[in-house]
Each structure stands twice: as C-alpha cells, then as structure tokens.
Amino acid sequence: MKRLLIYSCLTLTSLMGYAQLDVDVDAGGTRQETQAQSAEGSKKHRLFNKAKDFVDKKWVKNVDTLYIQNPKQVWRISMDSYLSQSDLLMKSTIDGTNLGAEGDVRCKPRIRTDVSTSLGVRVGYKGLAAHYAFNVAGDKGRDFSLSSSGTWYCVHFRLHEFKTKEPEVHYEGNFYNFNEEGSDLERMSFTNTWALTSPIKAKTMVLDGYYIFNKRRFSYKAAYRQSVIQRRSAGSWLAGAMFYYSDFRFDNIANAELILNMGDVGRIKQWEANLGAGYGYNFVPAKGWLISAMAMPMVTLYNRVKTYSYDSYYRECALAEEFLDPEEVAPEDRFFNQMGTDAHSNRIRLNFNARLSLTYNWNRYFVNLNGQFYNFGYHHKSNSGRLNDWFANASIGVRL
C-alpha cells in the first residue's frame, strides 16, 4: 500500500509538472521562467520514471519465471457476467400472544434473494483492479469491488447491495384453531411468504486479505486477477483475515405486520472479524490453462449483532384485550416509531471461506470462471442466525 501511495503521489507530481509547462508567454510569462519551469518539469519527469522502474522491479522481484510469467501488457479490461445470491436465516423464540398462539412460538425468518444475474466491467493495472456490475435479472441490486494483489499478498473489498420483496417466515407453536364449536389448541408448523410493498434493503461488505507463503512459485492474482500467468503447477499455504458487515432493514410502516411477526425487529446489523489459515493450489494441466482452488477455515474472533425494534399501530391492535382490525384504524392514527436497540457480542465460532477458478490464456486474451462462498453466523441466548453469500463470475478480457 505504501508503494501504491508513493507511485500515485509521484504520478500526480509529474502531471503537475507537465501542466506547468503550458505557459502563455503573452499573458506575462517570460522565456526564462518558461525554461526554468521546463527544467523543473523534466527533473520531476525523470524522478517519476525512476520511481516507476523501482515499482515495476519490486512487482516481479523474487518470482521464479519458470512458474510465473509477467505479460508485457500491464493494463486489462474485461466484461463480466455475475450470478449471485444472499440468504439470511434467523431463528428466535417470541411471545405467541400476538400471533394467535399460546406460549412461545419458534420463529425462523428467512430473507433470501433470487439468484440474480448482473453485467459489469473490470479494469485493472498490474495487480490493481476495480469492478462494477448492476443486476439485469432477479432482485434489484449492484456489486462493486476493489482489489490489490502482489507477489506475497492479495486484498479484496466487495460491496453488494440488493432489494427483495418476498421474505419467508416459518412458525412452530401451539396455535388456536377457530371453528364453529369454539377454538382448540393445535400444534402447527407452517411457512408464510410475505409480498411486501416496501422492499427489504440489504447491504453486505466484505474486506478480506491473504498472505502467500510460496510467493516465488504460486500466484493468487494469476487465478483471480489475470495480471500474471501461472506456467507450472504450484501450491502455497495461506494466512488470511476477513472483516464482514451487513445491514438488513425493512423498518417501514408498510411492513408493520412483518415486523410484529419478527418479534418487533425491523433492522439487523452484524459485524464480524475472522482469522484463518488454509491452502491454495494452482494446477496447470496444459499450456494456457489454469485450475485454482482455495479452502480456508477461519475463526470468528469478533461477532456483534445489533437489532432495532419498532412499535406501531399494528402492534397496538395485536396487544389489545379485544381484537382490533388494523385495517380499520384511520390513516391519521397509524403510527410507527422506533422503540430501542439491542446489541450483543457472540461467542467465538468456526467459519469457512472457499474459492474456485478456471482460466484460459491465449495471446493477449483470457477467459475466466470463478466463484466464492462465504458463511457468517451468530448466536446469542435464544436468537441465532447465519448468512450464506455466494457468487459465480464469468469474464472475457484483453491485456493492453
């Protein structure tokens, strides 16, 4: 990162030097001033070139060229097609009085997006890359990522935002079965699919990084960034760290009934920090081909969940001694307020991170298929949950 900052600063300084050369003599600049500025600009330009040569040499330093090839072209551009899905499952025990039941009810809300298809573009310079994609099928959303890869490390940031209108809630409990003879308690287990007018808005962010021990012969960026080419098979032990953040919110008065069924919770935030170690292997079955796999068990050292609870006219009707139909409440009397928040940390748990990639290189072109699976979870008293987040990406690109 320090090298990148130095490189960026010198680039900016060089550009500023060139800008100073564009002097309008008639507007007051003298020939001596112009020559001085030209000399200063040339000096900065030479300094910039030296810094660039230093970065370029460091970029390929200590690499066994029999295993890793650095293409002459340093720029890359590719078109991507993504398949992705996020699946949040929560488990909690809530008071069944509000739901027409006796005693506690086991509630399992599930917010799962459709498998979404997105189109995007990725631009890279050496080990740096930026990517943006937007959904064209499935739930609405967008995906943005930044990455930096060197011989011994890789750092990747991904932001995924999406909306969904069809959560599911599964119930298990003793519900009253109303009939002509009165009401009987009956043990029931059923699932409700909600059709919301106000969508659930979700945001997930993942920042992960890996340290590569066999940096001379194994290249992570050959499999996932295509900035270099793996020529022979090699593997490496990896050390990794991952930070995760998610925000699921449906805190809208239009979702008052759903919030009541979720124990008054209308927004859920989660933070996780993980450390782990694993192994990656790059298999080269033939010239131009690369099959890469990585598996990394991780330990969750920090896991915190914060929930936001809400009061509403819908909840007030449910708690009334006599049944009140929420639909009969006048529009001006319908209210929706935040009651409070509850934040708690969870115990240490085992997590898992896995990646798979297939690449084919020819001339200046490449085709890549890769995918990644994340699993995050939490547990606190009678509440627990987990989030599965995965994506598969197909891209075709060219080196420039």
Distance CA 288, CA 361 (A): 5
Q: Which amino acid is at 268?
A: I
DSSP 8-class letter at 137:
E
Q: Give the max Cα distance, the chain.
A: 106
pLDDT at 155 over 80: yes
pLDDT in tens, 25-78: 333 445 555 565 666 667 767 776 665 565 555 455 678 999 999 999 999 999
Q: Taking a C-beta distance cutoff of 8 angstroms, is the pair 57, 133 a contact?
A: no
pLDDT for 373: 86
b/e per residue, 10-19, with b = 16+ CB within 10 A? beeebeebee
Identify which has the larger pLDDT, 106 or 3.
Answer: 106
Count other Cβ atoms within 10 Å, centred on residue 77.
12
162 pLDDT tier (thresholds 50, 70, 90): confident
* CA dist list (Å): 349 to 101, 272, 388: 34, 11, 15
Residues 6+ apart with CB under 8 A from 321: none
Q: Which of left, alpha, beta for 64 (phi over 0: left; psi -120 to 50: alpha)?
A: beta
pLDDT in tens, 92-115: 887 777 777 888 888 888 888 888
284 pLDDT tier (thresholds 50, 70, 90): very high
pLDDT for 29: 47
Distance CA 362, CA 178 (A): 70
- What are phi and psi for residue 318, nearest 5 degrees? -70, -30
Q: Taking a C-beta distance cutoff of 8 angstroms, is the pair 247, 267 a contact?
A: yes
Angle at 366 between CA 8 and CA 397, to 5 degrees: 55
pLDDT for 8: 44
pLDDT in tens, 233-283: 999 999 999 999 999 999 999 999 888 878 788 998 999 999 999 999 999
% of the chain at pLDDT higher than 70 = 83
pTM of the model: 0.76
Identify which has the larger pLDDT, 381 or 388.
Answer: 388
